Structure 1
Amino acid sequence: MSGIEHLKERNRDWARRMVSSQPGFFRRLVTQQAPEYLWIGCSDSRVPANEIIGLGPGELFVHRNVANLAPPQDANYLSVLQYAIDVLQVRHVLVVGHYGCGGVRAAVDGKRRGLVDHWLHPIRELWEEHRKELEAIPDFEARLHRLCELNVIRQVKNVATDLFVQEAWARGQEVSVHGWVYSLADGLIRDLNVTVGGPRR
């Protein structure tokens, strides 16, 4: 079996299992996509969005990139956000980082990586902005954990101040933006308690 043939076989096995355990699953999937949630997370292969929160296909709209950034100048992210809010009308935007993020580490380890350095520049800016707090943490790994949290908090702010979200709130659409961090060590999500919702009416 070639390097990728086993993936096709696994796909066939998965499809058979789904048909066996949930008759009509694919028929329902074809006719509807109505997720309540948009997940903005890291591309890390150890962070499978649907599995972590126990949702199946069709229940979670997902955008992933290195270090779970929500940069206001990125057309890919903005297109996903607009589609999620305006078309799918999700009720919750979940910005989810994770401890042990290679992107966060790469942003501050001093090594040059080309284009990815440009992408990770906002995290380096965060490091400089919070240098005093971060350098007061003696353990370097704990320092990176805190930087992961600060990154999520900043991305929540980016999402909440985006025009598409502001317009949704202005027209009374219920959308909340949440900041979470996932732990690879125990599989649990930590809520950073930075949820932002629309203005109360």
Structure 2
Amino acid sequence: MKYNSIEQIIKNNRAWVAQKQAQDRSYFEEMASGQKPPYLYIGCSDSRLALTRFTGTEPGELFVHRNIANQVSLTDMNFLAILNYAIIHLEVKHIIVAGHYGCGGIKAALEGRTIGIIDNWVNPIREIYLEKKDEIDALPTQEQRLNRLAEFNVVLQVKNIYQTSIMGQSLEQQKAPEVHGWVVDIKTGLITDLEVSTKQWELRSLSLAGF
């Protein structure tokens, strides 16, 4: 694959700005006035996932948090601060947790490989695999096993969102955003909604918030 040079990236930027201004002279002035995105997107850091291209969205629509294998860590202050800001200040209407097929973090977790400091990040996914081992190992191909673990990982991260205090508070106040679990297939470019049922977790979060 041929990559752009730094100089070409700057040229691309200039061309994009000119195109936007030709379409709408006030485009950047309006964007600079503030943000009110309807979506918080929690996804993997994989460089192949160009969010605005995969989703057809414009700058200002997605508030984004990305890390290795789209983890929702209850001890990650960076994530918790972003979640708090998205819900309280931006008042996002939807939270999207998006994993993807062909994820390196998922592969490392399934195979139990040691990859240095990233092990600390991948270990929770390894625990998912060990819990669902019989079901995953029963699948006929390695690709199918990896894909299924990627899906299980998304479901757990959706559940983890409901374990946060900020989500419990927003549910109690009936101001909580909807939470969605997606997986992206890089081979096809298509997004699949896993249609994760979150009602059970919502009820659990409400009970914890009132404890």
Per-residue CA deviations over 1:89-131 (Å, capped at 9, x if unaligned) read 1011000011111111122333321110111110000010101
Q: Which residue of 2 aligns with 1:11?
A: 13
Out of 73, 76, 79, the position equivalent to 1:77 is: 79
Per-residue CA deviations over 1:6-52 (Å, capped at 9, x if unaligned) read 22222111111111122211000011211111000011111122221
Contact 1:156 1:178 in 2 (8 A): yes
Aligned-pair identity in percent equals 42
Three-state SS of the structure 2 residue aligned to 1:80 is helix
The whole-number CA distance in structure 1 between the counterparts of 2:90 and 2:65 is 14
Between structures 1 and 2, the one with greater helix share: 2
Q: Tell whether 2:49 aligns with 1:39.
A: no
Q: Which residue of 2 aligns with 1:92?
A: 94
Partner amino acid for 2:149? Answer: L
Contact 1:177 1:195 in 2 (8 A): no
Three-state SS of the structure 2 residue aligned to 1:13 is helix
Q: Which residue of 1 aligns with 2:66?
A: 64
The whole-number CA distance in structure 2 between the counterparts of 1:35 and 1:195 is 24
Normalised by the length of structure 2, the TM-score is 0.89
RMSD, aligned α-carbons: 1.7
Instruction: Tell me by how many angstroms 1:196 deviates.
Output: 2.6
Partner amino acid for 2:159? Answer: K
The whole-number CA distance in structure 2 between the counterparts of 1:193 and 1:83 is 25
The whole-number CA distance in structure 1 between the counterparts of 2:197 and 2:91 is 18
Unaligned runs of 5+ in 1: none
Normalised by the length of structure 1, the TM-score is 0.93
Partner amino acid for 1:148? Answer: A
Unaligned runs of 5+ in 2: 207-211
Out of 184, 192, 195, the position equivalent to 1:193 is: 195
Q: Which residue of 1 aligns with 2:185?
A: 183
Q: Which residue of 2 aligns with 1:118?
A: 120
Q: Tell whether 2:53 aligns with 1:51.
A: yes
Instruction: Tell me by how many angstroms 1:195 deviates.
Output: 4.3
The whole-number CA distance in structure 2 between the counterparts of 1:92 and 1:65 is 19
Contact 1:39 1:95 in 2 (8 A): yes
| Matched residues, number | 199
